[in-house]
Amino acid sequence: QVQLVESGGGLVQAGDSLRLSCTASGRTFSSYVMAWFRQAPGKEREFVAAIRWSEGNTYYADSMKGRFTISRDNAKNTVYLQMNSLKPEDTAVYYCAAEMLSGFFRSSSAYAYWGQGTQVTVSS
C-alpha cells in the first residue's frame, strides 16, 4: 500500500523560504513520477512541480519556475519542494502525489496516490 506523508509546512512571512518533504513508502518508486500540487481555499488544485524518480528529471508549472525547486533523496525515499521568496498568494495546502507515468502530467486526475497535505501560510 502506497503511503505519502508530507511535512514542513507552516506560517512564514513574505520573502521567507520553506522546504516541504514527502516521504514515500509501500513500494519501489523507481518507475514513478512524484509531484507537488497545491490548493488554496475556494480554488482548484494546482500543479506545482514533478520529478521522475529514476532519472531525476524535473518539470515545473511556469509560474513556479525560478522560485520553487523539486528534488529527491533516493536513500530516504523522500521528495522535497524548496520554496523561496514566498508570497502571500503561495498560501495553500500543498499535496504530494505519485503515479507510474510515462511522462509529466499537470492534471491531478493523472495521479492515484496522494498525501494528506501540509498547510503553508505566507503573511504579508
User: What pLDDT sits at residue 123?
Assistant: 98
Q: Which three cell numbers stand for residue 84?
A: 523561496
With beta carbons less than 8 A apart as the criterion, state whether 12 and 123 touch: yes
For 94-117, letters b (16+ CB in 10 Å) and e give bbbbbbebeebbeebebbebbbeb
Judged by DSSP in three states, 41 sits in coil
User: What pLDDT sits at residue 42?
Assistant: 95
Judged by DSSP in three states, 38 sits in strand
Stretches where the chain sits below pLDDT 50 are: none
Q: Report how far residue 34's alpha carbon sits from residue 67's, in angstroms, rounded to the nearest whole number.
A: 19
User: What pLDDT sits at residue 71?
Assistant: 98
Q: Report how far residue 81's alpha carbon sits from residue 66's, in angstroms, rounded to the nearest whole number.
A: 12
Length of the chain: 124
Residue 74: other Cβ atoms inside 10 A = 11
User: What pLDDT sits at residue 2?
Assistant: 92
